[in-house]
């Protein structure tokens, strides 16, 4: 008899395990036992389960790169014994954490599925049960003795997304996430349907590598009509600044005022990379398409193409933390490392 898959659940917090605090009436994280007791169906799944919980489960607004490190370490320490991982996490910053984890693990060949919920597990209308049960089922699916999915994903409201392509789109709908520039990887209906054309194929010959993100001296600047020289100068003169993500308009366009371009140019001359990404939810930066991006291309902005903000932030931190990328941020940023950016 073949062995059933072993799935490790990593509980970090989020609405899924929250209850109302009787003093403040605000939602607060509770321990995993509370979730487990609310889903007796977990005992009937066709896999064995093990759980590791954060000692103090977090609302994901409190999650920072130290917690990404903690999640990656748990995965690393348990990699050989688990067939797949399910990370329970608040939806607010789930796309950031899951994108970061996708960069931190190179040559992953097992599923790491993030999920959570919009309503707590104890709520009658909760979405937590479906999200969690299906995320575990997806993590346990095998084909020819190998995991069906071998990448970092988010499963939410019947859809499986590549994590580093997602963004949180709603605080009200059960469908909290979308992946506007990349198709879904799988869908849950009467059956689980996988879309092979979108799923990453793990490399057989490369070694698994876990890397840390320790350099997060970056800034995310969103342009708006009326942004002044003084505001931008202050932001770009942040002490120890090592990278800039610039959220521009449309297909990567920005003002053509001399003060604006000069500030960007002097930042680049200090060796600080500046990435051009779009504020649009869907579509891509196309440097040089409009007159308002020609100079950005000429002075050497990095082309963020169709990457999400969440992925751009974590990818830049990752590249700034990795020795191999020293002096080559542009080259590494503009190519796909984990399927996070379209190459054209
Ligand atoms: N505030 C919660 C969190 O991100 C929201 C959620 O889980 O959906 O932890």
The angle subtended at Cα 271 by Cα 275 and Cα 240, nearest 5°, is 90
The reply to whether ligand 1 has any atom less than 6 angstroms from the CB of 15 is: yes
Whether the CA torsion 29, 34, 39, 45 is positive or negative: it is positive
127 ligand 1 Cβ < 6 A: no
pLDDT in tens, 152-204: 999 999 999 999 999 999 999 999 999 999 999 999 999 999 999 999 999 88
pLDDT at residue 305 in the model:
98
Please choose from 67, 95, 115, 116 the residue to mutate so as to test ligand 1's pocket, defined by most ligand atoms within 8 A of CB: 116
> Is the pLDDT assigned to residue 1 strictly greater than 80?
no
Domain count, the chain: 2
Q: Is residue 59 within 6 Å of ligand 1 at its C-beta?
A: yes
In a domain, 340, yes or no: no
Instruction: Give the global pTM.
Output: 0.96
Q: Is the pLDDT of residue 310 over 90?
A: yes
The confidence score (pLDDT) of residue 37 equals: 87
75 shares its domain with 91: yes
**CATH number for 299:** 3.40.50.40
Mean pLDDT over each residue of the chain, to the nearest integer? 95
Ordered DSSP codes for 267-305: HHHTT--EEEEESSSSS---TTSSHHHHHHHHHT-EE-T
Does residue 265 share a domain with residue 203? no
Please count the other Cβ atoms lying within 10 Å of the Cβ belonging to residue 338.
Answer: 23
Is 263:231 a contact under the CB 8 Å cutoff? no
102-106, 144-148, 251-255, 256-260: segment of lowest average pLDDT: 144-148
Which domain-ending residue is among 210, 243, 278?
210
| The two three-digit tokens of residue 121, written as one number | 């597990």
Given a cut of 70, is residue 116 above it in pLDDT?
Answer: yes
Pair 179, 233 in one domain: no
How far is ligand 1, taken at its centre, from the CA of residue 28, in Å?
A: 10
**Catalytic sites, residue numbers:** 15
Choose among 238, 225, 220, 244: nearest CA to 302.
244
Q: Is 90 in the pocket of ligand 1 (CB under 6 A)?
A: yes
- CATH number, domain with residue 107: 3.40.50.1170
* Gap between the Cα atoms of 165 and 162, Å rounded: 6
């Amino acid at each position: 008899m073949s062995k059933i898959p072993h799935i490790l659940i990593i509980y970090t917090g989020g609405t899924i395990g929250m209850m109302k605090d009787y003093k403040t009436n605000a939602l607060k994280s509770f321990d995993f036992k509370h979730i487990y007791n609310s889903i007796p169906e977990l005992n009937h799944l066709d896999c064995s389960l093990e759980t590791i919980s954060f000692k103090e489960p977090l609302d994901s607004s409190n999650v920072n790169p130290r917690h990404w490190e903690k999640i990656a370490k748990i995965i690393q320490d348990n990699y050989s014994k688990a067939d797949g991982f399910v990370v329970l996490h608040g939806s607010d910053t789930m796309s950031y954490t899951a994108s970061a984890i996708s960069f931190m693990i190179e040559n992953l060949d097992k599923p790491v599925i993030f999920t959570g919920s919009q309503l707590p597990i104890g709520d009658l209308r909760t979405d937590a049960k479906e999200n969690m049960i299906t995320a575990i089922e997806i993590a346990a699916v095998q084909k020819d003795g190998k995991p069906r999915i071998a990448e970092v994903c988010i499963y939410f409201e019947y859809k499986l997304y590549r994590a580093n392509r997602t963004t949180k789109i709603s605080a009200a709908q059960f469908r909290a996430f979308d992946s506007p520039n990349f198709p879904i990887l799988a869908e849950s209906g009467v059956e689980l349907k996988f879309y092979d054309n979108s799923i990453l194929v793990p490399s057989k010959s490369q070694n698994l590598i876990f890397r840390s993100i320790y350099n997060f001296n970056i800034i995310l600047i969103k342009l708006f009509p009326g942004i002044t020289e003084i505001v931008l100068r202050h932001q770009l003169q942040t002490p120890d600044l090592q990278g800039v993500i610039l959220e521009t308009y449309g297909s990567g366009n920005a003002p053509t005022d001399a003060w604006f371009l000069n500030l960007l140019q002097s930042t680049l001359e200090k060796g600080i990379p500046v990435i051009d990404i779009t504020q649009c939810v869907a579509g891509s930066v196309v440097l040089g398409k409009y007159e308002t991006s020609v100079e950005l291309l000429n002075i050497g902005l990095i082309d963020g193409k169709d990457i999400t903000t969440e992925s751009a932030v974590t990818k830049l931190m990752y590249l700034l933390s990795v020795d191999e990328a020293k002096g080559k941020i542009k080259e590494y940023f503009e190519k796909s490392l984990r399927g996070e950016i379209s190459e054209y």
